[in-house]
């Protein structure tokens, strides 16, 4: 492969990941081009970019998902490469191909690797052939309920109906007994048709209480390596909320076995760049391939923290035809990293997405803290996009200390204007089971109390800060000047809140 140096990168994404990629571009000496919808006109990622191109109205189908418009933006801005981030078009083989056909560099794997992993049943066949352990079940989409019943009998109940084109946990149904099978097939299939335009479903053995452990891989023209695991068992409705590296359940020997399987998966599809193999890890130490994400993952920072690798910079190097900068030989994780996804989901309202103006935001800082945010004071949170506002990542010498640093950071974080899931994170990190690390992917199903927890604290906090802002507004109107440092005085102490309330009511 001829090195083809990158110069100017268009980021076909938004929010925190667009900013994350732009930072890596800066560090690599590359120029950046943002694309934005009308809803994102004033977003931080647009301001930070060297150039910015409007691509349409707020709805993703009218902006971030329009391949032709993105390619035209690349042409008009003189970009020579496109980074897709995660979500949106990141795992559309057609997009990778279109970028390639336009003579631009796609910062990701070849389109062929994306499509090989895009369909779950074909990925399962490929993985089985490559010697990667897969969950027992069907290797192709099911034709009818009789065939499904036969497969289910063979692998044994409970079974899981899954959409072949699946993603985001859609089109999945657990079936405990034969009489429930036909109905589950029908609902999963219609859900899959709605979500993916493809109703094909297949069956997997339902693994009881596994952990979700995934392996980061990196591949250049010369070698394919793994960079350890991430534990992502803290999920709600199959959406990850908290991730850690390393995993408390993985020792050096298991890491090498899972790592070797992930590398074999990458090699089997001719992978390039950064990718992730997701596995279910059963309590007996057996692990099964779930899927491969052919892109940078939301939770990549925890790997970066414990391995000292900048995965996005490595993506850029590899896309430019250079070798990865990761040293040869076995990599050893250093310390412990945890990520909490801060979402605009309202604990007082069943954790449904909330929208509104972020009247004020104060990010945590200090030793061991990394804040990856797509929003700031003054940002408008809409319901058009993913509800994740920011990621709070911490790194400390061991798991216990990482949890303590995370609690410290969460206690400093203030977001006023939209409800967030911060109270959930605080309750989770204080929970004895979480502290002991005895978690699995059904943990939050059993512990709904944590999800509902502490919304009292959130409400109190919101009231206190609203009072403070009101007080500031009044002072401001009295003096007719802007008190520059005023929001800095907003803290979570109750004494302070009481004063603020009094001021506000005066
Ligand atoms: P999607 O692509 O929709 O995210 P995945 O195959 O990655 O689907 O599965 C999503 C989640 O569903 C996993 O993280 C895990 O929590 C659960 N899951 C998937 N397959 C199984 C299985 N065979 N047994 C138990 N849980 C499973």
Which domain, by its residues, includes 70?
Answer: 8-107
Task: Give me the sign of the Cα torsion angle 263, 269, 270, 271.
Answer: negative
Residue 129 and residue 243 share a domain? yes
For residue 1, count other CB atoms closer than 10 A to its CB: 10
Q: What is the DSSP letter of 471?
A: H
Residue 144 maps to a domain: yes
3 state SS of 115: helix
232/313 same-domain check:
yes
Answer yes or no: do 267 and 125 share one domain. Answer: yes
Distance 336 CA to ligand 1 centre (A): 25
Determine the atom of ligand 1 nearest the C-alpha atom of 172.
3
Q: What is the pLDDT of residue 480?
A: 45
239 plus 190 within the same structural domain:
no
Q: Based on the domain organization, do 130 and 224 belong to the same domain?
A: yes
Question: Does residue 166 line the site of ligand 1, with CB under 6 A?
Answer: yes
Percent of the chain at pLDDT > 90 equals 81
pLDDT at 456 over 80: no
Query: Is 290 a pocket residue for ligand 1 (Cβ < 6 Å)?
Result: yes
Q: Which helix (H) or strand (E) holds 48?
A: helix 44-48
My answer on whether 228 and 288 are in the same domain is yes
Per-residue pLDDT of 218-256, as tens digits, reads: 999 999 999 999 999 999 988 999 999 999 999 999 999
* CB of 441 closer than 6 angstroms to any ligand 1 atom: yes
The verdict on whether 47 is a catalytic residue reads no
Q: Write down the pLDDT at residue 335.
A: 98
> Is there a single domain that holds both residue 222 and residue 80?
no
Angle at 247 between CA 241 and CA 249, to 5 degrees: 120
Among candidate residues 20, 255, 295, 370, the one labeled active-site is: 295
Nearest CA to ligand 1 atom 11: 238
If you average pLDDT over residues 270-293, what whole number do you get?
97
Report CA(259)–ligand 1 centroid distance (Å): 20
- Give distance in angstroms: CA of 12 to centre of ligand 1: 27
Domain with residue 323: its CATH number is 3.30.470.20
Ligand 1 mutation target, pool 169, 205, 298, 444, most atoms within 8 A of CB? 169
What stretch of H or E contains 128? helix 120-129
Q: How many domains does the chain have?
A: 4
Residue 422 CA to ligand 1 centre (angstroms): 25
The answer to whether residues 217 and 313 belong to one domain is yes
Q: Are residues 188 and 266 in the same domain?
A: no
**In this structure, is residue 170 part of a structural domain?**
yes
Q: Give per-residue pLDDT as tens, 85-143.
A: 999 999 999 999 999 999 999 999 999 999 999 889 999 999 999 999 999 999 999 99
pTM over 0.85? The answer is yes
User: Using CA atoms, how far apart are residues 250 and 35, in angstroms rounded to an integer?
Assistant: 40
| 126 and 242 together in one domain | yes
Does 145 share its domain with 231? no
Angle between helices 494-505 and 455-479 (to 10 degrees): 50
Strand pairing class (159-163; 380-381): unpaired
Predicted confidence (pLDDT) per residue in 465-488, tens digit: 666 666 665 555 554 443 333 343
pLDDT at res. 382: 95
Average pLDDT over residues 386-407: 98
Confidence of residue 201 (pLDDT cuts 50, 70, 90): very high
| Cα–Cα distance, 430 to 166 (Å, whole number) | 34
Cβ neighbours for 164, distance < 8 A, ≥ 6 positions apart: 119, 120, 121, 141, 192, 198, 200, 201, 202
Is residue 135 within 6 Å of ligand 1 at its C-beta?
Answer: yes
- Residues 327-384 have pLDDT tens digits of 999 999 999 999 999 999 987 788 889 899 998 899 999 999 999 999 999 999 999 9
- The pLDDT-based confidence of 504 (bands split at 50, 70, 90) is very low
Query: Do 269 and 235 share a structural domain?
Result: yes
């Amino acid at each position: 492969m001829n090195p083809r140096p990158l110069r100017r990168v268009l980021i076909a994404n938004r929010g925190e990941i667009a900013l994350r990629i732009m930072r890596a571009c800066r560090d690599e000496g590359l120029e950046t081009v943002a694309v934005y919808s009308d809803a994102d006109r004033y977003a931080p990622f647009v301001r930070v970019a060297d150039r910015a191109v409007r691509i349409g109205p707020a709805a993703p189908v009218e902006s971030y998902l329009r391949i032709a418009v993105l390619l035209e933006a690349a042409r008009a801005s003189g970009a020579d490469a496109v980074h897709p981030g995660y979500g949106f078009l990141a795992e559309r083989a057609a997009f990778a191909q279109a970028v390639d056909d336009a003579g631009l560099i796609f910062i990701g794997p070849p389109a062929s690797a994306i499509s090989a992993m895009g369909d779950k049943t074909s990925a399962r066949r490929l993985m089985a052939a490559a010697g990667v352990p897969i969950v027992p079940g069907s290797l192709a989409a099911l034709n009818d309920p009789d065939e499904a019943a036969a497969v289910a009998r063979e692998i044994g109940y409970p079974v899981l109906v899954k959409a072949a084109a699946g993603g985001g946990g859609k089109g999945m149904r657990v079936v405990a007994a034969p009489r429930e099978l036909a109905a589950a097939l029908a609902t999963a299939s219609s859900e899959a048709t709605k979500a993916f335009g493809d109703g094909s479903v297949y069956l997997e053995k339902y693994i009881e209480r596994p952990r979700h452990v995934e392996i980061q891989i990196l591949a250049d023209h010369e070698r394919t390596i793994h960079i350890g695991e991430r534990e992502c068992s803290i999920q709600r409705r199959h959406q990850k909320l908290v991730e850690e590296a390393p995993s408390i359940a993985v020792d050096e020997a298991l890491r090498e076995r899972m790592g070797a399987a992930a590398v074999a998966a990458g090699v089997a599809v001719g992978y390039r760049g950064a990718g992730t193999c997701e596995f279910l890890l059963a309590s007996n130490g057996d692990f099964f391939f779930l899927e491969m994400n052919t892109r940078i993952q939301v939770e990549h920072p925890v790997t970066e923290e414990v391995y000292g690798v900048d995965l996005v910079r490595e993506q850029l190097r590899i896309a430019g035809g250079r070798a990865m900068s990761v040293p040869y030989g076995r990599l050893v994780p250093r310390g412990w990293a945890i990520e909490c996804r801060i979402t605009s989901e309202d604990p007082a309202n069943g954790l449904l997405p909330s929208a509104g103006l972020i009247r004020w935001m104060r990010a945590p800082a200090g030793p061991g803290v990394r804040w990856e945010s797509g929003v700031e004071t003054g940002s408008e949170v809409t319901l058009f996009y993913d509800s994740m506002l920011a990621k709070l990542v911490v790194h400390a010498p061991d798991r216990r200390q990482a949890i303590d640093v995370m609690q410290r950071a969460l206690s400093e974080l203030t977001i006023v204007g939209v409800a967030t899931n911060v109270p959930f994170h605080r309750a989770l990190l204080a929970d004895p089971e979480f502290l002991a690390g005895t978690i699995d992917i059904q943990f939050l199903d059993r512990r709904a109390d944590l999800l509902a927890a502490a919304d009292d604290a959130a409400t109190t906090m919101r009231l206190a800060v609203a009072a403070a802002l009101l007080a500031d507004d009044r002072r401001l109107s009295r003096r007719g000047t802007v008190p520059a440092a005023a929001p800095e005085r907003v803290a979570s102490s109750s004494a302070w809140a009481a004063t603020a309330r009094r001021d506000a009511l005066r």
